Structure 1
Amino acid sequence: MRRQTLVTVLGLALLAAPACAQPPVAPAATLNDRLTGDLVPTHDPVIIRAGDIYHVFSTGHGKRLIETRTSPDLIHWTAGDPVFTALPDWAKQAIPGSDGMWAPDIAHVNGRYRLYYSVSTFGSNRSAIGLATSPTLDPKAKDYGWRDEGLVVMSTKDDDYNAIDPNFLIDRDGRHWLTLGSFWTGIKLIELDPDSGKPKNAQAKPVSIARRPAPAGGPAPVEAPFLVDHGGYYWLMVSYDYCCKGVNSSYYTVIGRSKAITGPYLGKDGSSLMEGGGTIFLRADLQEQQRFRGPGHAGWLHDVDSKTGDGQDYVVYHAYDKQANGAPTLRIAPVRWGANGWPQAEY
């Protein structure tokens, strides 16, 4: 009787044991986990959807001036031909020593795609933003072809800002704007002429919308602005600290919001982006993971399902992959808007 009872008890314990010993459920794969294809090198990406195809444009050097990538599903990415293989003559003359087109932005305006791009040399504010346009993004289309429209805005050593990292936005009143800037006195905003895509008033002083007061002994970097219109606010993303150092990059992205496009932009805690504040939006992996470092230079896509009309926001950015010798890598994350009205990247 005792033996039978013991066997019964042991049997029940064995039946119960697997349930108690189940391994923890692995978290669902993120979009970043599923990205595949030509993800490297991607630096300073922006994204747009044209028809059923997603397009990413990013910084280029050498003979590949503005890299291009396409995907049918945001997951599988294929590199395409560069937008340009040589700098326009005006850019060579304006910015001696430059050899690349940096940090593009893409928008569809008045029936043409507008590609804003930067021309500079590292560490200098003798910089320029140019504009190229095309009626389509499909290289197979008969009317495909980028036409350079020349200089948009330029900065020199006599200016207190750096004319790189452009981002274009049409506000809710239909006014066109370009935000730009890196280091120096921070991020500026310039109103554009809707027809030309160039400054509406060349003599107007740029509006300051973000800066980081420099501490004693060195700069406090702020760059890579991107504006988003959502929920009755304008949202400004900027990158703090240093990019371009591989796995030693300290880049991270903060965000603030304002009722007016000209600011003031404030973080969730009320801190001002004009004082180096804001709310952290993208940051590096935790120290125990340490794979993707320096996430920044964020762009944005509001993607609308053509069948259901449902919308989903995504943030696109680069990060440096420690498992690939610090290669700048394409990263994309869905954005969820919380009950408090603030965005959270699911990366």
Structure 2
Amino acid sequence: MKFSKWPLLLIGFLALSGACSSESNEPDTEATTVSISAPTVANVTEDKANIIATITTNTPSAILKKGFCYDTQSNPTISNQTVEMSSAGLSLNLTLTALEPETKYYAKAFATVVNGNPVYSSEISFTTTARSETSELDNYTAPTYPDNYTNITDWSSRSQWNLANVHDPSVVLAEDGYYYMYQTDASYGNAHEAGGHFHGRRSKDLVNWEYLGGTMQSLPEWVIPKLNEIREAMGLSAVQPDTKSFGYWAPCVRKVRNGLYRMYYSIVCPGLLNGENTWSERAFIGMMENTDPANNAGWEDKGYVITNASDRGLNFNVKPDDWTNCYYKWNAIDPSYIIDKDGKHYLIYGSWHSGIAALEVDATTGKPLNVLPNPWGTEQDITSYGQLLVTRQMGNRWQASEGPEIIYNPNTGYYYLFVAYDALEVPYNTRVCRSQNLLGPYTGIDGTDLTRYGGEMLPVVTHPYKFSNSNGWVGIAHCAIFDDGNGNWYYASQGRLPKDIPGIHLSNAVMMGHVRSIKWTSTGWPVVMPERYGAVPTVAITEDELAGNWEHIDLAYSYGQQKASSTMTLSADHKVTDGSWKGATWNYDASNQRIIFSNGVEVCLQRETDWEASPRTHTIVYAGYTNSKTYWGKKKK
């Protein structure tokens, strides 16, 4: 055994009291030696290590402190991190804790003695293990906030809302590291009416959200004058509608550059154009700006951007329920905003009428790049109000599609246009199409050209669904798509509880904000995970975890139907032994975390929260497409 020896001379104190005594004042010196064996290390884990050493000394009472010092740099001393042994004895046996995984540490044993320098052993080094996947998942704590929030719906309880009362969200990652979410004026029992319009909240982790309140306190001053300016030009009389009767819908917030954020919003005017048997009044898209969204009161209104445009001149004598003959070509609601890969700025908007339109705007002002003419005339007269991107049915003025959200993914080279389909209470579902050019043509996964010919957009991204042990969710659409800057993409929307749940009054009016992870298929299509995001550790999924029972959902479109799960079983020998795909085989692409089935379906995997479990925990989920169907699944515990 190798020892380090340090001689130490202990000098007694000379006590002086009156006359000196020859017996009490003679110097008393005793040489003390201390040696410490080279430490040995054992039981090294991701965050701990046990170290042993032995002190040898001829004067044990001279030792004041003893233990180990350690650091990630060589030659540690007691000025670095230390752990001390408080009990008597000269055998050191201590555990270093709170270490970092996969990190090399250097350690020495030490002893301090009376009136002397510390004595050190020789140095040893060791490396902690990789972070334990099991412990990381075992330590996971799932979100606990309730989906049925009806007991905290009052405005006075808004600090507890978290993601309660979310409708048509828009999400932006700001410079301060917070995600900011803004929304349509909608809440259970209209509780939001006490606090203004276009309410906001923020989060650092996408799970816990701080409620901020309204960003707009009252109807902008420009709205009624602008409405009457257009009415006068149309030969209609001025109106003075009740300011409380306007709708505040679907804001879209984007970071334009450092220190500048824009919010485009919809103001829907009440009433009819000219009384009975005429079409409904118009909507406006306006815009606000803010230098710092942490200042929720700092949104400055920049005024009017665009309104509904009609290609039918002044022939607005259409009954408000005559959907086929809708007066407007474009409906100025549901704005989305994008800066394309060439640096041009576009407003994407539209709903229900002729489809989704794109309009280039000025980068500096955020307003239309060109001066807009009167919002009525022939089709040629209103071309500057927008260019068609997608339509559900060419020539149909009642599309049952709305809420466009557009993004660009540089990893795939495509623009993706997400659209909400159908009525919002239950049938609401999300579709997506893509194009290599912002202005199209956009095609679905089945190859349908939705720009030039129109058609049903596929794939279905979200749809009413139900896993076992739950009421499930409906009305899942009008989404926000955003990323964290590190390649991770997310989908946010409202989700509604189904109708007529026993014990919940007006259960379909319960609107919980949903945030879900997006994965990308091998062919570059975004799939949205079936379970909501809950910050489960991103531990790699191993093949042996995949064998067992899954809750499988065929999420193919079915108007207003809540698609329920059924059991599908994967065996360890790569077969599907039960369920709708019985007889198929499967293989695992571990590097991309995808299962490829012999029936041609590829699904993307993700660890997510099992929201239906009691208590909630983590599980594995999947989502995938064919050219006509969408599939969701969740591993059973």
TM-score of the superposed pair, with normalisation by structure 1: 0.81
Measure how far apart 1:155 and its partner are: 1.1
Do the aligned partners of 2:354 and 2:394 also contact (CA within 8 Å) in 1? no
| 1:207 counterpart residue number | 387
Q: Which residue type is aligned with residue 184 of structure 2?
A: T
1:93-112 equivalences under 5 Å are 93-94=225-226, 96=241, 98-110=245-257, 111-112=259-260
Instruction: Select which of 494, 501, 509 maps to 1:318.
Output: 494
Using the alignment, how far apart are the partners of 2:248 and 2:181 within structure 1? 15
1:171-320 equivalences under 5 Å are 171-203=340-372, 204-213=384-393, 219-230=398-409, 231-243=412-424, 245=425, 249-273=426-450, 274-286=454-466, 290-304=471-485, 310-320=486-496
Using the alignment, how far apart are the partners of 1:183 and 1:136 within structure 2? 34
| Residues 88-118 of structure 1: CA deviation (Å, up to 9, x unaligned) | 0112344545433210001111431101100
| 1:116 counterpart residue number | 264
Using the alignment, how far apart are the partners of 2:222 and 2:177 within structure 1? 35
Measure how far apart 1:82 and its partner are: 0.7
SS in 2 for 1:83: strand
Q: Which moved more, 1:280-289 or 1:336-345?
A: 280-289
Instruction: Select which of 270, 287, 292 maps to 1:131.
Output: 287
Measure how far apart 1:124 and its partner are: 4.2
Using the alignment, how far apart are the partners of 1:166 and 1:35 within structure 2? 33
Using the alignment, how far apart are the partners of 1:47 and 1:57 within structure 2? 7
Using the alignment, how far apart are the partners of 2:246 and 2:482 within structure 1? 29
Using the alignment, how far apart are the partners of 2:443 and 2:261 within structure 1? 31
Q: Which moved more, 1:164-173 or 1:264-273?
A: 264-273
Q: Which residue type is aligned with residue 282 of structure 1?
A: T
TM-score of the superposed pair, with normalisation by structure 2: 0.45
Do the aligned partners of 2:354 and 2:399 also contact (CA within 8 Å) in 1? no
Residue 79 of structure 1 pairs with residue 232 of structure 2: no
| 1:155 counterpart residue number | 308
Measure how far apart 1:167 and its partner are: 0.4
Measure how far apart 1:215 and its partner are: 10
| Residues 276-300 of structure 1: CA deviation (Å, up to 9, x unaligned) | 3231111111487652101100111
Using the alignment, how far apart are the partners of 1:278 and 1:300 within structure 2? 17
Q: 1:314 to 1:196 in 2, by over 3 A?
A: same
Q: Which residue type is aligned with residue 113 of structure 1?
A: Y
Q: 1:258 to 1:336 in 2, by over 3 A?
A: same
Measure how far apart 1:78 and its partner are: 2.2
| Residues 48-90 of structure 1: CA deviation (Å, up to 9, x unaligned) | 1122211110012644200111112110122112101211011
Matched pairs, number: 305
| Residues 263-283 of structure 1: CA deviation (Å, up to 9, x unaligned) | 111111112333232311111
Residue 44 of structure 1 pairs with residue 224 of structure 2: no
SS in 2 for 1:75: coil
> Larger relative CO (CA 8 A, sep 6+): 1 or 2?
1
Do the aligned partners of 1:272 and 1:278 also contact (CA within 8 Å) in 2? no
Using the alignment, how far apart are the partners of 2:482 and 2:309 within structure 1? 32
Using the alignment, how far apart are the partners of 1:121 and 1:106 within structure 2? 22
SS in 2 for 1:275: coil
Using the alignment, how far apart are the partners of 1:224 and 1:49 within structure 2? 20
Residue 146 of structure 1 pairs with residue 299 of structure 2: yes
List runs of 5+ in structure 1 lacking aligned partners: 1-27, 305-309
Q: 1:205 to 1:67 in 2, by over 3 A?
A: closer
Q: 1:255 to 1:64 in 2, by over 3 A?
A: same
Using the alignment, how far apart are the partners of 1:335 and 1:184 within structure 2? 29
Using the alignment, how far apart are the partners of 1:45 and 1:55 within structure 2? 10
| 2:317 counterpart residue number | none
Q: Identity, % of aligned pairs?
A: 29
Q: Which residue type is aligned with residue 418 of structure 2?
A: M
Q: 1:58 to 1:341 in 2, by over 3 A?
A: same
| 1:328 counterpart residue number | 511
Measure how far apart 1:156 and its partner are: 5.2
Measure how far apart 1:35 and its partner are: 7.5
SS in 1 for 2:224: helix
| 1:57 counterpart residue number | 182
SS in 2 for 1:92: helix
Q: 1:168 to 1:125 in 2, by over 3 A?
A: farther
Do the aligned partners of 2:415 and 2:435 also contact (CA within 8 Å) in 1? yes
Give every structure 1 segment of 4 or more consecutive aligned residues whose post-TM-superposition deviation is greater than 6 Å: none
Using the alignment, how far apart are the partners of 2:265 and 2:434 within structure 1? 25
Measure how far apart 1:125 and its partner are: 6.1
Q: 1:43 to 1:125 in 2, by over 3 A?
A: farther
| Residues 226-257 of structure 1: CA deviation (Å, up to 9, x unaligned) | 111011111100011111x3xxx211010001
Measure how far apart 1:176 and its partner are: 0.4
Q: Which residue type is aligned with residue 266 of structure 1?
A: T
SS in 2 for 1:152: strand
SS in 2 for 1:102: strand
Q: 1:84 to 1:280 in 2, by over 3 A?
A: same
Question: Could you say which structure has the larger radius of gyration?
Answer: 2
Do the aligned partners of 1:127 and 1:163 also contact (CA within 8 Å) in 2? yes
| 1:346 counterpart residue number | 529
Using the alignment, how far apart are the partners of 1:215 and 1:294 within structure 2? 27
SS in 1 for 2:481: strand
